[in-house]
Amino acid sequence: MSTSSLPQRMARNVPTELLRSFVAIVEAGSMAQATETIFLTQSALSLQMKRLEDVLQQKLFRRDGRKLVLTPAGEELVAYARQLLTLNDRIMHKLGHISDPEPITVGMVQDFADTLLPDVLARFRLEHPRCRLTIRVGGSVELLEMFDRSRLDIVLCLGQHGDRPNSSWRIVGHDKMVWIGDPSTLDQPEIPLVLLEPPCRFRDAALGTLAKARRDYRIVLQTPHLPAMRAGVRSGLGASCRTRRFAAAEGLSTLPAGLLPEVPEIETILIQRNGLPDAAQDLAELLVQAASDQ
């Protein structure tokens, strides 16, 4: 009997949308968190994973209390799934019908949104006019939490030596913290302070520096919003602490050296997700260039 007359085993395909959801769940840590990145309900994700297990005839997850844990088969599938999705995306990029790319999600602290972002966006638009961006402005702690939950592709934030460095964490610049405000407000037994609510690195630096120097202070304005803090400083309510770059960009007066104890230096940190498309990589490099030491 010739081989051509033998019955052929039917090839089976693994749907890429199921693999994409599977990888999203693994990277997010749970189905609930994955819903924020792939925009499906938790019940729809659960049905997709059931379908994927049916296709592969393998259990991919097991329950450990309230957590989902990968089975050995699930662990093995992760690497294959990422390879297939990378190849799929490369094919679509090279040969597929041109369509609007997925938005790049960027998080940055207000200091950079007010100073670096306009020039970076202008340069990025020239190279990638069809790219869509989603930009979130917030505190460093909030942005890092969003990055950990796979809700941001790139984060430009502020940190200090000893913060959790890893392979995606780059120190791209340094800036000097400075005291800002009207010197006349310091002619009081207690130094009046205008601060952001915690968590805030500048608040920690200001209070820690004054405590170490045994200088008395009182917080006269506390707010979660940088514009309100800025207004408090401009109105002469009290002193605050920010970067030299931010003070210059906002036209805020820095206090002369020696009036208050010196505050520490702060680092500019860029964090980006592995495997970003070329446009996102270009945007990250533009941010690095803009934030680098002058």
At residue 154, the pLDDT reads: 93
* 2: confidence class by pLDDT, cuts 50, 70, 90: very low
d(CA 293, CA 268): 9
Predicted confidence (pLDDT) at residue 8 exceeds the cutoff of 70:
no
**In 60-216, where do the E strands start and end?**
61-64, 67-70, 104-108, 133-137, 154-159, 169-180, 191-196
At residue 63, the pLDDT reads: 85
Q: 197 Cβ partners below 8 Å, 6+ apart?
A: 203, 222, 223, 224
Nearest to 40 by CA among 16, 22, 67: 22
* 59: confidence class by pLDDT, cuts 50, 70, 90: very high
Q: 172 Cβ partners below 8 Å, 6+ apart?
A: 268, 269, 270, 287, 288, 291, 292
Vertex 149, ends 160 and 282: CA angle to 5°?
Answer: 70
Cβ proximity of 100 and 68 under 8 Å:
no
- Lowest model confidence (mean pLDDT) among 123-137, 157-171, 199-213, 240-254: 157-171
- For CATH 1.10.10.10, the residue range(s) in the chain are 16-95
d(CA 175, CA 293): 8
- For CATH 3.40.190.290, the residue range(s) in the chain are 100-294
- pLDDT over 90 percentage in the chain: 38
Nearest to 13 by CA among 51, 76, 54, 55: 55
H/E element, 113: helix 110-115
CATH architecture of 100-294: 3-Layer(aba) Sandwich (3.40)
Nearest to 55 by CA among 33, 39, 77, 36: 77
Mean pLDDT over 32-52 rounds to: 83
- pLDDT over 70 percentage in the chain: 90
At residue 3, the pLDDT reads: 46
Mean pLDDT of the chain: 85
At residue 112, the pLDDT reads: 86
- Using one digit for the tens of pLDDT, what is the confidence trace for 151-201? 899 999 887 655 555 557 788 888 888 999 999 888 888 999 999 998 888
Name which residue leads in pLDDT, 39 or 252: 252
Give the CATH number of domain 16-95.
1.10.10.10
At residue 6, the pLDDT reads: 46
